[in-house]
Amino acid sequence: MSEFNPLPPERPLRHGEAWSWTDYEQLLQGVFDGLSVRELAAKLRRTPGAVRAQLGQLVPDEAKAWRTAERIDWLRRCLAENPEYDWQAVLNSHLTDPFRLWSGTEECLLRDGWENRTALPDLVATLQISEPTIVHHLIKIGLAAHVGEVVDRLGATAGGSVEARARLLRAELSEAIYVVIVEGSRRPIASLHHSAEGAEKAMRETIGNPTVTEPRRWVMRRTLDGRSAGQIWSSPSRRH
């Protein structure tokens, strides 16, 4: 009789990670080589369920209802007959636009455009990818912090959704107030600031010497029109 193990099964090392271009290439190569779902999962360090889900994204709409084995057979035959099968186009047709898969070539063109300050409408023409999707990816890969930074650097189509989002963000940032509350020896010490930088500086000055035995707890909150605007920073010992 086997011993009962109360612990949940271990997840693969890459469980939950976003799938990259290389992941899909390895998945398709494994399908072409005749690997099973479990073998593909082991190769990619994913769960079998994740592999099955991605296989469904690589076949046309009419094949979505097929069983996994049928999808694998179809893909294997397709890759053998047509090595240039445009799996990226099929995959992106199943994904919401901002979350499309970027090829290495597309990402290189995007990074070059960012470095050279290529106008956003020109990048759209080059990549054939929408402005909102380009902005989403620039933020995702860490080249920009928010839509306002993208528009400041690359511009945007006048009257478009990206320009409107940047304009709203600027208005919000200009009206936002940062509230700092630091635990005092007798009562909390509160202050108001018009920028995150000013609030952080005041917080650090109020905290004082960081070598004290019991450091003061603190919280910094961004507000708009007296309401929380969704950004809160706090000392590690405090939870919100």
Amino acid identity, residue 230?
G
Coarse DSSP helix, strand, coil percentages of the chain, rounded to the nearest 5 percent? 50, 10, 40
Task: Report domain extents, the chain.
Answer: 21-95, 98-172, 176-234
Q: Is pTM beyond 0.75 here?
A: no
Bridge partner list, 191: 180
10 pLDDT band (50/70/90 cuts)?
low
| Cβ–Cβ under 8 Å, residues 151 and 166 | yes
Chain segment 182-218, per-residue pLDDT in tens: 876 677 888 887 777 888 888 888 777 554 445 567 7
What is the model's pLDDT at position 191? 82
What is the model's pLDDT at position 9? 47
Mean pLDDT lowest among 126-130, 155-159, 171-175: 171-175
What is the model's pLDDT at position 189? 81
Give 158: exposed, middle or buried? Use CB within 10 Å, 0-12, 13-18, 19+: exposed
Q: Does residue 120 register a pLDDT over 90? A: yes
What one-character-per-residue DSSP string does 175-195 give? Answer: H-EEEEEE--SSS-EEEEESS
Chain segment 46-99, per-residue pLDDT in tens: 999 999 999 999 999 888 789 999 999 999 999 999 999 999 999 999 888 788
